[in-house]
Structure 1
Amino acid sequence: MKLTILGSHGPYPGKDGACSGYLLENNRMNILIDCGNGVLSRYQRYYDLRDLKYIILTHFHSDHVSDMMVLRYAVDIRMRKGDIKEPINIYCPNEPLKVLDDLNFNGVFKLNIVDEKTKLKIDNLLISFEKMEHPVLTYAVKFNDGKKTFAFSGDTMENDRIIPFIKSCDVFLCDGNLLGDEKGPHLTARRAAEISKAADCKKLIITHLWPQHTTDEYFNEASKVIQDVIIAKDFEVYDI
């Protein structure tokens, strides 16, 4: 598996940035995880939209799904032209209903509702989900190819489900939006590092970065817990 950071900011993009979007490649198949502001353009640096078969949406906040509203028009037009033959498979929560309704557009997406009991197999990837804590229904997602495991927290606050879910994973991509004593519906960089360490994860990548904080600030806080922590950087590629 190979992970490319398409967008790492939240809840809005900084200058030249993009919101949450991650490209997971496995053999000749790719999965887009979240599709926030700016992600659709960046995806097309790597693949044509005809190659976009699977999208996982961890939750329906706009910094994770806003480009889906543009993608629906692109797919609709290209399906009418015969350029795209089949709808894109979307795996997502079932609420808020208004966003789900917005995604139900001219048959361009095949909507598949997930919950913590969902087990998927796409190609040789086994994919599972766990409910997190956030103002809207949100899921962490985990991928296993039979050899390695990659997990993404989605957006989350503190909860007792995350450590068992990510236990011993090879790469853990984690929401660490906050610093110090900042409050909000996210983890701090330090807490993300503590969770990764408690779960015996081999590599931690902190993402969902507040644009007005520097990567050095995130690194300095998290590295007090894990020395080799990685702060997500757009277009960086990580082997899993």
Structure 2
Amino acid sequence: MRRTVLGGCGAWPGAGQACSGYFVEHDGFRLLLDPGYATLPRLLALTAAERVDAVLVSHGHPDHCADLNPLLRARALGDAPPTPLPVHALPGALDAVLALDGRMLAGSYEVRDFDAGTAFAIGPFTVDTKLLPHFVPNAGIRLMADGEVFACTGDTGPSPDIVALARDADVFLAEATFPEQVLPEQDAPFLSTARQAGAYAAEAEVGRLVLAHLWPGVEPAAAEQSARATCTGRIDVATPGLTATLS
């Protein structure tokens, strides 16, 4: 299983950056996870739009799904439109982004709703999900293939289910919007810090922690330093082009 970071910014993309987006490949299958703002140009540097086999979205905030629209445009308006793209998401999560072009994109995608807490298959992947706390319904995602595990929180506040989601994962991609303290404080039930992500990674005994969804302006080094206060394992920050082959 190979995972490539397309972007790691939270809320909006900083200059030269992109929001959440991850490209996961296994046995020739190409899965796009959370196509947030500005991720499509980075995806197109890796593969053609029509070669994406499926999309999986953790929740409906646009920094996790907005570039589904230009991806579908690139597929539907190309010289040889491919078969409809399977798009897996929580019920209603993609209503707004799919409404942008109405009938023009009709037939270019097939929405496959899932409920957080269920398991299902996408190509060679077994997908297990957990409902994690956020401002809108959010599914933590655990991808498994050939004994390898990639876990991703989406965006989440504190929850004991995060450890279960990440348990023994080869790579754990964790939301870490702020280094030490969520601001404003009333948002603390719905977002996480790098320090918290490190603690979850240590308890879950993951192989590699990748900090994602950093607030624009947060220095990656500051996030990494905060995570190292609670985790002694390998830590990276989700920056465009970062890759991980899970083995």
Q: Could you tell me how far apart the structure 1 residues matched to 2:226 and 2:202 are?
A: 14
Is 1:87 the counterpart of 2:84? The answer is yes
Q: Could you tell me how far apart the structure 2 residues matched to 1:73 and 1:124 are?
A: 26
- Equivalent runs, 1:106-185 vs 2, <5 Å: 106-183=106-183, 184=187, 185=190
Structure 1 contact 69–102 (Cα < 8 Å) conserved: no
Which stretch of structure 1 is more off in the superposition, 109-118 or 53-62? 109-118
- In structure 2, stretches of 5+ residues that fail to align are none
- Equivalent runs, 1:25-44 vs 2, <5 Å: 25-44=25-44
Structure 1 contact 95–137 (Cα < 8 Å) conserved: no
Q: Could you tell me how far apart the structure 1 residues matched to 2:94 and 2:4 are?
A: 30
Structure 1 contact 156–187 (Cα < 8 Å) conserved: yes
Q: Match for 1:31: what amino acid? A: L
Structure 1 contact 93–114 (Cα < 8 Å) conserved: yes
Q: Secondary structure at the match of 2:77?
A: helix
Alignment length, in residue pairs? 237
Cα gap change, 1:222 to 1:51, in 2 (>3 Å): same
Is 1:13 the counterpart of 2:13? The answer is yes
Is 1:232 the counterpart of 2:234? The answer is no
Q: Match for 1:108: what amino acid? A: S
Superposition CA RMSD, Å: 1.7
Structure 2 length normalisation: TM-score?
A: 0.90
Q: Match for 1:15: what amino acid? A: A
Where does residue 77 of structure 2 map in the other structure? 77
| Offset at residue 239 of structure 1 (A) | 1.2
Structure 1 contact 149–169 (Cα < 8 Å) conserved: yes
After superposition, the C-alpha distances for 1:60-92 in whole angstroms (9 at most, x for unaligned) are: 1011111112223222223xx4x1230110000
Percent sequence identity over matched residues?
A: 24
- In structure 1, stretches of 5+ residues that fail to align are none
Structure 1 contact 173–206 (Cα < 8 Å) conserved: yes
Which stretch of structure 1 is more off in the superposition, 8-17 or 139-148? 139-148
